[in-house]
Structure 1
Amino acid sequence: MEAMLLRKLVFPAVSALALLAASGEARASQPLTAFESGQVRPMAMSPNGQRLFVVNTPDNRLEIYAITPAGLEREASVAVGLEPVAVAARNNHEVWVVNHLSDSVSVVAVGAHAHVKRTLQVGDEPRDIVFAGVGGERAFITAAHRGQHAPFDPQLTTPSVGRADVWVFQASQVSAEPLTIVNLFSDTPRALAVNADGSRVYAAAFNSGNQTATIAPGVMPKGGEQAGGLPGPNVNHAGIGEPDNGLIVRFDGDHWVDELGRVWDHMIKFNLPDKDVFVINAEAPVPALLPDDDGFFAGVGTTLFNMIVNPVSGKIYVTNTEARNQVRFEGPGIFADTTVRGHAVDNRITVLDDQGVHPRLLNKHIDYDNCCAPVPNAESELSVSQPLGMATTSDGAVLYTAVIGNDKVAIYYTAELEDDSFYPDAFDQIPVSGGGPTGLVLDEANDRLYVMTRFDNGISIIDTDALEEVDHLTMHNPEPADLIAGRRFLYDAALTSSHGDQSCASCHIFGDKDDLAWDLGNPDGDIMAVTDNIRTNFGIGDIDFHPMKGPMLTQSLRGLDNHGPMHWRGDRNGVDQQPSAQPDTGAYSEVAAFNTFNVAFPGLLGRDQELAPEQMQAFTDFALQLVYPPNPIRNLDNSLTAQQQVGRDFFFNNKSVITADLSQFTCENCHRIDAQANAEYGVARPGFFGSDGQLVLAELGQTLKIPQMRNFYTRVGAFGMVGGDAFFNSPGQPFYDDSHQGDQVRGFGYAHDGSKDQLLRIFNGFSFAAEGFHDIDTMLAVASFLFAFDTNLAPVVGQQVTLRKQDFQLQAWAAVNARINLLRARADADECELIAKTRLGPFELGLLYEGGAYTTSFSGLPSLTHAQVRLLALSSPVTYTCVPLGTGERLGIDRDDDGTRDGDEQLWWQW
């Protein structure tokens, strides 16, 4: 039957292909949707040392290279899911690829014609993978505790729930169902590691926190610290009093205390155990955490990047940063004599062993009392910033570390690292061309180190004897030139900070957030006037921007485009371009707004001066392309649950009566949702997702921008904060109780400062006319809707399914066919573009669904029907993927976007 199918569908067309020239209409350049997913395990080597596997994150592919005495030779390229960030070799013939945006794992058969043979669906935003257990036959994959594939309720309004999971599959079985899902009591996870005999798997939280939290504004007496209020200074250098700000406190092992040592246990009613690295028994009949204190390590770091186990000693090394957000203020620190300028985080490798947790500072040479020398300088050239992937020698003596922020590989001798006797030395640092190292693989047989370089999407080859780079190659990269050029300014600490160890990415982790609040006011600064993009002042009057703004959560760099002025207050704006109007003028200009962040390079990172205008514009062009991922809570068909629909109806229809002059406004009147909003301005721009850039004067004691709401689901887990004044914490409300809530996974929640533990406290800030506003079921419905809030991309974007020969059996067919039909239906609804990939003998066949049929990557082949594409799976698995609108042609049939289809280029190459 397979032979008949191939003759019917393929052979007539292939004969026609012999007559082809590289013809066909030239197609317009296809856009790329930029997510800036952080690579975790971007490279792996086959057990026999003959192949190197590399994720091509921007091109959504796995690249396969033959390892030869002369270097690397490209052998194959396999389309996988969207945003692959990790790869692991199960054996010499099979590798597994983790697709961060697709919430999937591609199982790739390696051989003469490499291809995806299975696709496994996992939880939201999977990041890492290892094989362990008896014979290495179990696959362990980290994912957030949520997502449309999760067989559980994420319990987003329930305290004391672990927000991280490890999905475990029996790799040799054909079942797509996991053997188990191990829940971790932490926030979202990232890295995995396995010990030498495969009996233990170590799983780490990502933004794990550092046992800090925010006391809400309004709970402390006025009059400064002498009256029991906010620590001084309480005025700026000009003597103007600060707003009614909150205060960051830290758990000292016994109590929640502020910088003056005062105890605030009555305001933070939860425990924050800060469990960071978890230990899983990989060989148990059902893998599970080790019991009691043996099952975790606490206090490893604030943001944990990668882990590796010493193959001889069994000690674990964790690359991480430790945030200093308990230190107040940015700027020169003249008036207040305290600042984090030039020292916001410490870059570390933490050693874990039977005796406990041993953090090691990597930049011992830095004198943080001196700031800010021009760059580069002797001090900055030795620094490391944001250490990521690691590799060890087989004897466990040497540890190689990729350092994304300094374009280098740092070498540590493990004995010196463990006893903390090492000191930075230029001899132990290897410059890497291409920029932005994220991961590496050690090939001891050939005395080589292979290094993934994210900035140019390349691979550097280092001679481990000579300790120098001997070759560099790049992979196909569809990213636009301005995205590539601007990326460096997010990560490059050597360029952007005086000490060479701080960058924007130190807090905006991979362009996102660190889940912390920082008090980055500047007492040496002056009052700034508010702009004219004002929604309301609640009848209170104008309040200008005070330079001492109090604690504020780190915001994501995603989704900035089209949402006007920036930062929580909207004080980063283009006020020099009056008058203000949407789109892109005055305070609404995103380009002008982002450029104003140039002051942060000297004021926060400690650079001697701002970036050159052209450098800052390159950074701006990069940042404004970053987008939020699809919402993982909303149904894949973009429908709402009954509860979410009730919440949406309230959000759009119920009127507030908070003040006399604003008796007729709804939630949506301020937090605007309109994916097509810019149609009214005659421009093609993304819409509004919670904000259109307007300000609310005097809200929470100071002027704030109406915030977007696309990532509320990521901020769950800090239950037990006592709200501040009655505005947020009216006595007797049934929404929440202020009793102690036990162990929690996060220290910061909602509002600009993270001092509200759940959305229900925010709702209580407004008095709505609708009957039932104080009804718990109604408010839970509103929360449910906000967790499923619209983003720039429909929920189906990235989703995949692979149809295999064995799926034609009746039992398997229903589920696979239903998912194919779902993807097709969402493409018909213009929520995504649908592509498919399979093989025709030695050729990759790409397919793009358009007009009810599938255009092929061979211009000589006719379009195929749904039935014909399904039948192709009898010969080779067919993987369907929903991709962002506008990218289907490039991802499906014209990879290099040159107007000649991929299949035609394969034929010409073969010929």
Structure 2
Amino acid sequence: MYRSVRLPALACAIVALTGNPTFAQPSFVAFETGPVRPLAMEGGILAAVNIPDNTLETFNVVANGITRRTSIPVGLEPSAVAIRPGSNQAWVVNHLSDSVSIVDMATGTVTRTLLVGDEPRDVVITDPDGAGPLGDRVFITTAHRGQHRTDPSISAVPGAGDPELTTASVPRADVWVFDADNTGSGVGGTPLKIVELFGDTPRALTVSADGTSVYAAIFHSGNLTAVVNEGMVCDNFGGSQCNGDGISSPNGLNNGRLPGGLPGPSTNASGDNAPETGLIVQFHEGSGQWRDDLGRNWSNGIRFFLPDLDVFEIDADTLVETASFAHVGTINFNMPVNPINGNLYVSNTEAQNLTRFEGPGIFGGSTVQGNLHQARITVLDGANVSPVHLNSHIDYNVTPAPAGTKDHSLATPLDMVVTSDGSTMYVAAFGSSKVGVISTSDLDNGTFSPTASSANYLPVSGGGPSGLALDEANGNLFVLTRFDNAVSVIDLGTGTEVNHFPLHNPEPASLVDGRPMLYDAFKTSSNGEASCSSCHVFGDFDSLSWDLGNPDDIVTINTMPIKFENVLQFFGADISELNGTGNTRDFHPMKGPMTTQTLRGMSNSGPMHWRGDRSNGFFGISPTDEFTSFKNFIGAFSGLVGGDTPPTDPALQSDMDDFATFALQVTLPPNPVRALDNSLTPNQQAGMDFFDGSTGQLSDGASVNGFTCEGCHRHDPSQGFFGTGGEASFENEPQIVKIAHFRNLYQKVGMFGMPNVDFNLPGDGSHMGDQVRGTGYLHDGATDTLFRFFTADVFRNPGLVLNEPNVGFNGGDPQRRDVEQAMLAFDSDLAPIVGQQVTLDDTNLSSVGGRISLLEQRAGTTFVSAVLGGVTTECDLVARGVWNGFPRSALYDPGTNSYVPDSISEPAISAADMRSLAQVPGQATTFTCVPPGSGSRIALDRDQDGWWNYDESQSSTDPANPGSLIGACSDGLDNDGDGAIDEADTGCSGPSSRIENPQCSDGYDNDGDGTADYGGDADCTGPTSNRELAIPPRDCRVGPLDPETDLLGLLMIFLALRVGARRRTLSSPETRRR
């Protein structure tokens, strides 16, 4: 069918695909997705999600561990997998693709792709009536947003529709429920219902022992803390009561009064006056009051309640919420059920952000040094909620912690499994490189002792244990280690790791090298519990505000460009208290509450922190260099995390180089509010016209100080500016702060209600009742909504102290609403189409054909992104399936409207023929928009060794091993990075050998049979053999041998060898070495 396309067309396509871009374009884009349920086991099969490689890896479970089975492409950034009981069907949650892949593991085929809400995380399957008529139901957690939520194909589904991002008191945690036997005929399937829960984005799911209930846990649930706006804190430190805005809140002081000023101290240890700031408070359930750490009643300063509901029970039959559990944890990770007594166990951390200050705590009297988020497992026993601290042995008053303390600690507890007799729990301690082994009775009874239990903890190589699967029949525990992307096998009889199976990892080595600095509490703290990821959860934020000032520190100098600095001086504004000291160029160490910022998307954002204060630090002053600014966080490892290594330590400095290199590669996801075709609604467009100054009015225009929104908040994708260009600005606040970016504003929706303060025009200051978030916008999170922020006094002429006509929002509140809509859909480094996918089979062309056309259109649409190399397209489009019995893939070439297959000798496939190919029964094909620059790796050359996937599979070399390739021993390259080239490499038997580092001399027990390499494993016929696995050479083949296809394969290999000079250079030397 498609072989009729002539070879010259393929040559043109290849030129288009491999032409050098103007800027360097990465072949891998890092998102640092958090694993949720990365392992599942059923019927002798272990399934593992390979997050960076976008695949599902399957293994056969054998007596002494596992053997490799197959690798199945799914969606982008898969975070969880569940296997349907009694079947070969796996359901894989694709976090970045907003989809679920239904996989037939027997054939290695994705048979259907379901589309769901934004950032799905977990999946469970249950039959609520056992042998009854209902059948299996599948539950998936997602955020309460995303393009598919409003797709017309699901308009009749209960719970679907407008996410109401600007409406108060809306549930913002969704659980999508599908009938496993009837997923619906729409473009992305048709759920039975979207269950809406009153929380902010869910993560974990679990099923009751009898299968009739499903439990969902909120990820960023919070801890009943909020921030009193600086405008509601009485002047001066300490002090007496003052008036607020005249409105009383429930249980507040009489007549709307406020209890006083900031607690103090009013200066740092050097005597420099501190700026006046907001104040973190926490809701006290006994009194119904919002209180600070001195116990003062600030209820009149907060205008909402936080129910803090963390876990919800859903009837699996009626799909109705039947119960909820409050105060389980601040950040809730995973959740299993005890199969015997029915108790739920929730791994979580509890934030200590009510405590003020970092550093030694000498002058300020308090500190969170080493005590950020306490690691816990909370037991839900009926209506009882009982948190158990996993590290109760730590004395947080002693820093650094005494030697040996960290040996008993478990940091960042993620996945858990409970034995079938209900007696023992295994918990993956992501930040500790170990698996905790805990008696469930100790948890249930509150008698758990880390010093007593730690002798049974299981060390794991690789780092970052995140997923567990228990093989009780053979006495093995399987552990997915995310730091190095592998699966370990632990023999529970001996408590030792007996094998470690690396999964193919396309990440550059710099990501792997730098990752431990974010998560590894054993490495970076003295007590083994605290790490950067305690607050920067999976490189993002914890949705909390922290006062991490340091009264023992000194004032430093701000060398950043400051907008309006000349205006302040020209008009003689009173700046005597600005920054506390009255100096526009001071960074005072007592900065007040500030929300945790994401570590994603920092590569073009200039100096770090809300004030940009990391532009001045240990490694020097650099107001525009992100790398130096990030490295200046080195002091946080001792001052905040509680490490015992000083910044002067050369090893720590080297680690900071690795950490900065890692962090500056992590990218924010596409905006889930913006339309998939990258268009804007009329309201969004009107808002962006105002923002960019496109209406031609002076109010939007460029006067000397640039009074458009864009005049401060730079919007230039070619430079990676999405709201910030690295400058600071005076904003009529007590401190000069850095101008912020806008790419993740939609994540902060959920706090509604705040008092009227002088910073804003008068508005609705009434109490708004229950909300799902305690922080909102601005540096301290005290402003509830974007709309409220746009009522700031600085956005009108008197507030700007200039005599310009119509400056600011001259269109009033409707104009503010338009800009609010535009900000929620703000541009980002990646187009909205990135990650989107759909599967075409022999039954559904009418429903998915339009979506495939959209993917093709966007793959040919110009897009500008600094992190993607400059001018590119919105995505690379990849088509993957099992064609003629072989796993195949192809890359769309918009110039010829055709797909280039993963064999250099095959002609391109026209777009029409690709649709026809996918409609052959058994050849379902999934079309996925991947980040520009990633398409060649994902579709054509998985290991980036220059030889395409199908050609390698047909020549018995490994498409996932860059050292295993056609002509490896005559190409002049050190393919396995051992320092020896071609015939000088012991792996090469001669110039015609194809493998420099074969399985039979690589030092790994590749098939898990307890023996390795030639002379040890009977499957190895010699040291150059690449078949240690006891499977046929064509292990990727799932259909019967076809003589015609086999001969064609030999011809392909011959042609590939003939065109060796056209070898692709799709990878860096660093990647090739790996």
Do the two structures share a fold, i.e. TM-score over 0.5? yes
SS at match of 1:388: strand
Matched, 1:800 2:829: no
Matched, 1:747 2:771: no
**2:946 — aligned with what?**
899
Cα pair 1:848 1:889 within 8 Å, conserved: yes
SS at match of 1:572: helix
Cα pair 1:637 1:826 within 8 Å, conserved: yes
Matched, 1:779 2:816: yes
Structure 1 residues 577 and 482: alpha-carbon distance in aligned structure 2, compared to 1, 3 A threshold: closer
Q: Note the C-alpha offset of 1:134.
A: 3.0
Counterpart AA for 2:178: F
**1:844 — aligned with what?**
887
**1:42 — aligned with what?**
38
Deviations 1:500-536 (A, max 9, x none): 1000000000000000000000001111111142222
Which of 667, 677, 683 is residue 643 of structure 1 equivalent to?
683
Counterpart AA for 2:914: V
Structure 1 residues 699 and 384: alpha-carbon distance in aligned structure 2, compared to 1, 3 A threshold: farther
Deviations 1:355-410 (A, max 9, x none): 41000000121121211148xx3111111110000001001100000001010000
Which of 437, 441, 445 is residue 465 of structure 2 equivalent to?
437
Cα pair 1:894 1:902 within 8 Å, conserved: yes
Matched, 1:283 2:317: yes
Cα pair 1:144 1:164 within 8 Å, conserved: yes
Which of 484, 489, 501 is residue 512 of structure 2 equivalent to?
484
Q: Note the C-alpha offset of 1:773.
A: 3.3
**1:31 — aligned with what?**
27
Structure 1 residues 557 and 772: alpha-carbon distance in aligned structure 2, compared to 1, 3 A threshold: closer
Bigger Rg, structure 1 or 2 = 2
Cα pair 2:5 2:907 within 8 Å, conserved: no
Deviations 1:29-82 (A, max 9, x none): 952110000000000011x2x110000000000001111224211111111000
Structure 1 residues 613 and 597: alpha-carbon distance in aligned structure 2, compared to 1, 3 A threshold: same
Which of 139, 154, 159 is residue 163 of structure 2 equivalent to?
154
**1:216 — aligned with what?**
229
Matches within 5 A, 1:705-784: 705-724=738-757, 726-728=758-760, 730-731=761-762, 733=763, 737-765=764-792, 766-768=794-796, 769=806, 773=810, 775-784=812-821
Counterpart AA for 1:414: T
Cα pair 1:836 1:847 within 8 Å, conserved: yes
**1:168 — aligned with what?**
177
Which of 854, 865, 869 is residue 822 of structure 1 equivalent to?
854
Matches within 5 A, 1:290-301: 290=322, 295-301=323-329
In the alignment, the residues of structure 1 paired with residue 6 and residue 201 of structure 2 have an alpha-carbon distance, to the nearest angstrom, of: 49
Structure 1 residues 218 and 772: alpha-carbon distance in aligned structure 2, compared to 1, 3 A threshold: closer
Matched, 1:703 2:716: no
Structure 2 residue runs without a partner (length 5+): 11-16, 151-160, 241-259, 576-583, 797-805, 862-872, 957-1032, 1035-1074
SS at match of 1:58: coil
**1:458 — aligned with what?**
486
Structure 1 residues 394 and 302: alpha-carbon distance in aligned structure 2, compared to 1, 3 A threshold: same
Counterpart AA for 1:572: R
Cα pair 1:400 1:409 within 8 Å, conserved: yes
Which of 391, 398, 404 is residue 378 of structure 1 equivalent to?
404
In the alignment, the residues of structure 2 paired with residue 568 and residue 259 of structure 1 have an alpha-carbon distance, to the nearest angstrom, of: 24
Structure 1 residues 543 and 229: alpha-carbon distance in aligned structure 2, compared to 1, 3 A threshold: farther
Counterpart AA for 1:186: G
**1:3 — aligned with what?**
none
Q: Note the C-alpha offset of 1:575.
A: 7.5
Cα pair 2:75 2:835 within 8 Å, conserved: yes
Counterpart AA for 2:165: L
SS at match of 1:614: helix
Structure 1 residues 656 and 741: alpha-carbon distance in aligned structure 2, compared to 1, 3 A threshold: farther
Which of 384, 388, 394 is residue 420 of structure 2 equivalent to?
394
SS at match of 2:955: helix
Matched, 1:229 2:270: no
Matches within 5 A, 1:495-894: 495-537=523-565, 538-539=567-568, 540=573, 542-573=584-615, 586-610=622-646, 612-653=652-693, 664-677=706-719, 687-697=720-730, 699-724=732-757, 726-728=758-760, 730-731=761-762, 733=763, 737-765=764-792, 766-768=794-796, 769=806, 773=810, 775-808=812-845, 813=846, 815-829=847-861, 830-850=873-893, 851=895, 852-875=897-920, 876-894=923-941
Counterpart AA for 1:150: R
Deviations 1:451-490 (A, max 9, x none): 0000110011111121221111111000000010000000
Q: Note the C-alpha offset of 1:264.
A: 1.5
Cα pair 1:344 1:502 within 8 Å, conserved: yes
Matches within 5 A, 1:274-353: 274-284=308-318, 287-290=319-322, 295-353=323-381
SS at match of 2:559: coil
SS at match of 1:466: coil
SS at match of 2:759: coil
In the alignment, the residues of structure 2 paired with residue 150 and residue 688 of structure 1 have an alpha-carbon distance, to the nearest angstrom, of: 29
Cα pair 2:701 2:708 within 8 Å, conserved: no
Q: Note the C-alpha offset of 1:10.
A: 6.2
Matched, 1:98 2:93: yes
Q: Note the C-alpha offset of 1:698.
A: 6.3
Matched, 1:119 2:108: no
Q: Note the C-alpha offset of 1:577.
A: 9.4
Matched, 1:417 2:443: yes
Deviations 1:190-221 (A, max 9, x none): 00010111100000100100000000112222
Deviations 1:519-563 (A, max 9, x none): 000001111111142222251462511110000000000011011
**2:1014 — aligned with what?**
none
Cα pair 1:773 1:779 within 8 Å, conserved: no
Q: Note the C-alpha offset of 1:718.
A: 0.8
Deviations 1:156-182 (A, max 9, x none): 110000111000000111411000000
Q: Note the C-alpha offset of 1:699.
A: 4.5
Q: Note the C-alpha offset of 1:693.
A: 0.3
Q: Note the C-alpha offset of 1:12.
A: 11
What CA RMSD, in Å, does the superposition of the two structures yield over aligned residues?
2.3
Cα pair 2:706 2:712 within 8 Å, conserved: no
**Bigger Cα displacement from structure 2, 466-475 vs 886-895:** 466-475
Counterpart AA for 1:710: R
Identity %: 48
Cα pair 1:30 1:897 within 8 Å, conserved: no
In the alignment, the residues of structure 1 paired with residue 327 and residue 618 of structure 2 have an alpha-carbon distance, to the nearest angstrom, of: 46
TM-score, normalised with respect to structure 1: 0.91
Deviations 1:117-140 (A, max 9, x none): 000000000000001223460000
Counterpart AA for 2:168: P
In the alignment, the residues of structure 2 paired with residue 524 and residue 896 of structure 1 have an alpha-carbon distance, to the nearest angstrom, of: 51
How many residues are treated as equivalent by the alignment?
A: 859
In the alignment, the residues of structure 1 paired with residue 321 and residue 910 of structure 2 have an alpha-carbon distance, to the nearest angstrom, of: 48
Cα pair 1:658 1:767 within 8 Å, conserved: no
Cα pair 1:536 1:695 within 8 Å, conserved: no
Counterpart AA for 1:73: T
Q: Note the C-alpha offset of 1:874.
A: 2.3
Counterpart AA for 1:536: F
Matched, 1:75 2:69: yes
SS at match of 2:333: strand
